[in-house]
Structure formats: C-alpha cells, structure tokens
Amino acid sequence: MPAVPAPRGGHSAEAAHPAVGAATGLLDAYTEGARFLATPTRTLLADGPAREVPHGESPLAQRVAETLAAARRDGQSNPVVIGAVPFDQSAPAALAVPEFVQDGPPLANDPLIALPADLPAETEWAMRPVPSPEVYGAGVAAVVERMWRGEFSKVVLARTLELTADAPLDLPVMLQRLARRDPSGYTFALPTGPDSNLIGASPELLVSRRGNKVVANPLAGSTPRSEDLAEDVRRAAALLASAKDLHEHAVVVDAVHGALAPYCTTLDVPAKPTLIRTATMWHLSTTVTGTLPEGSAASALELASALHPTPAVCGTPTLTARQVIAETEPFDRGFFTGMIGWGNADGDGEWVVTIRCAEAQERTLRLYAGAGVVAASEPESETAETAAKFRTFLHAVGAE
C-alpha cells in the first residue's frame, strides 16, 4: 500500500467534486485483516505494519497519545490510531497506529456507492441464539419487575445469534453489502485478535472532535422499519410521540450533556429529538454540539471515554446497570457496545458506538443486538426489536 498522509481535520461534506471512485476504491481494496472505517466525513483503509497501543493501568487516552507521539518521533508526520475499545474499558483494546493510511472522501459522496453489491455466495448457515428468545424475554420481564420495585430505572439487555457457515467467511463481500446498504452511516472492519475481526455498520456517533468543535449524536428509542411506505411512516410518527421512548431518549441525552459539560465552554442540546433511519430501524436522535476552550488538551478519545458507556448501551444508574447486565446476559459482550474509531496526534477524531456488528472468526459469526429496557417495556416488544436489529447483518450474509 502506498504511503498516504494520515487523516487531519477530515474531508467536509462540501468538498469540491471528490474524485469518482476515490471512496469506493478503498472499499474495494479491503482484504481480511486490514483496517477499514467509513464515516460521514471520510473513508480510511490501513494495512501493513502497525504499532499496537499497549494494555496498561494508565488511562487509555494517555496510552494512545504516547503511542502516537512515539510514531511521530519515528518519522510519521501525522500518525493516526484506528481500532476498537471493548464495552469494559478495563479490558484490552484493539487499537493500533498503522504505518500507512489511505484517507478518502465519504462513501456517501461517491456516486459509485449506488451500484449494487455482489450477492453473497450460497451458504448453509447453522444458527444458534444465545440466549433463546424465550429466555431473553424472561430476562426482560425479571428486570422490569425489579424496576417497579425501584432498584434502577433502565438497563440495556443484549442477546446474540451465532452463525456457523459451511465455508470460510467472505468478509470483503459482507463489508460491501453493509456499506452499500447504508453508505451515510459508520461502516467498519477491524482486526481484534489473531484470526478475529469486528465488522459492522453502526448508526450512532458517540463523539467527534475537530479543532475545538465537539459533536455527539446519542440514539435511544427505536422501532423496526416496514416495507410498506404508509406503515413505515406511521411507525416513525408513533416513535416520535411515544412517551416511553421519549423518556428513554431524554435519559441518554441528559447523561451525554452531563459528561461533556465539564469539557466545554458552550454546549447546545436541542429540546426535542428528531428521527434518523437505517435500512432496518427508526431511531430517536439528538445532535449535541459543543465548543472546547482554546488550547484544550482533551482528545476525541478522552471525550469518548468520559461518555462511555452511555445509558443507550448500558443503563442507569451505570454501576447498577452493569451489574444487572453481568447477572442476566449469558455471554461476554467483548467489543459489542464498546466504541470504534480513529484519532490523530492533534486530538481530532471520531468515535462510534459499536452496534449492528458481528465478531468473525474463520467460519463463525457472532451477531449482537440489544434493547433498552425501562419500566414500561414488554418482553415481546424488546425481543422483536433485537430481532429487527439482527436483520442488518443477516442481510449482509444472505441469511435473512
């Protein structure tokens, strides 16, 4: 891969006539084990030698800054870190500073992204839900009962779907199908260990920093899309008027405001949410914008670490919600509901909530989906919501 300057400041959506094929060319060039990340501001592809961010007791943002500084001392003019941070921030992250990074415009700005992706190869999939939908629903009911007793106000419960193929996985085709279905989102494929990759398409920006400007876009409150246009519009309108979902969303927005306020001189939080859509879901969305003081040393990753985990992926109060998750979910979340993204030595970067994803190993995919459970939740509705969220990845592998 040719040496290309690492990202600095980003391509704006108003970039003048980006080269046709510049972004999709990077998508086409992805091979398993490379690092690919597409956001609404840029498309990144890195391969080859990389300097791993070490695990340790010091804050993650400090270890990343030290790794970037070491890369700069060794001659990289503008090094960039790319990778994934797990749900449990005390667990080892999968972050690295590649020697070479190709930086292109956003996929959504490339006309060639409208071309259809190849169909996945004919594959026999063996599927195993963990836990079963019935056990998951029972877990939701038990959590709701505890909420009515006043123990806590929200917890996000997840379940997994394990898919085993009769042939080796084709990650480049999966990535193409994810990216071309939702090109305006956050699509990624990143190595997380030996022969292990994290791949997905998240709709949710945790936080970005560009200079002294900060943006967060919390999502909470969701409903599945419908293929019938009239029904799809009805569901969107119902979500926007749902007292349950509006309350769930407000809890998350308040938490984001509280986490960012100590860092910002100004912080704008809209009074009401709007809607965003993916190919499979409607979400309540609020865009929070802020300004850092001049000369602030707070990097995008430091801000992300202060925000994570938000009530959108964990619950509230946080410590209680984490304990309930550990007691209820029969698996380790790993990188699911952690964060993925990039950052440079100047502190700029984008960090995204790791949802709509799967962990891939040889012939096995483990899909993850979660739903926010509050006192008004119903087990059947939350089970259906997680099933709808699985559809993003099931479509990518042709296993819907």
**Alpha carbons 1 and 244: distance in angstroms, whole number:** 50
Catalytic residue among 204, 302, 359, 385: 204
Amino acid at 146: R
E strand intervals along the chain = 35-38, 43-52, 80-85, 94-104, 125-130, 154-165, 186-193, 196-202, 205-210, 213-216, 219-224, 266-268, 274-277, 281-285, 288-291, 315-316, 339-344, 349-353, 357-361, 364-373
Sequence-separated (6 or more) residues with CB below 8 Å from residue 376: 243, 244
154 is catalytic: yes
User: The tokens of 79 are what?
Assistant: 């090094």
CA distances from 213 to 111, 208, 256, 291, 292 (A): 29, 8, 15, 5, 6
Catalytic residue among 154, 302, 350, 382: 154
204 is catalytic: yes
Using an 8 Å Cβ cutoff, are 42 and 131 in contact? no
Helices 300-307, 243-260: inter-axial angle, 10-degree rounding: 130
Using an 8 Å Cβ cutoff, are 105 and 184 in contact? no
With the C-alpha atoms ordered 178, 384, 165, 46, is the resulting torsion angle positive or negative? positive
**Alpha carbons 368 and 195: distance in angstroms, whole number:** 19
CA distances from 85 to 17, 130, 292, 363, 371 (A): 34, 23, 24, 24, 21
Using an 8 Å Cβ cutoff, are 225 and 232 in contact? yes
Sequence-separated (6 or more) residues with CB below 8 Å from residue 109: 11, 13, 15, 18, 23
Which DSSP string do the residues of 260-293 spell out, in sequence order?
HGGG-SEEE--SS-EEEE-SSEEEEE--EEEEPP
Q: Please, what is the Cα angle at 215 between 213 and 218, to 5 degrees?
A: 165
Using an 8 Å Cβ cutoff, are 81 and 53 in contact? yes
Catalytic residues: 154, 204
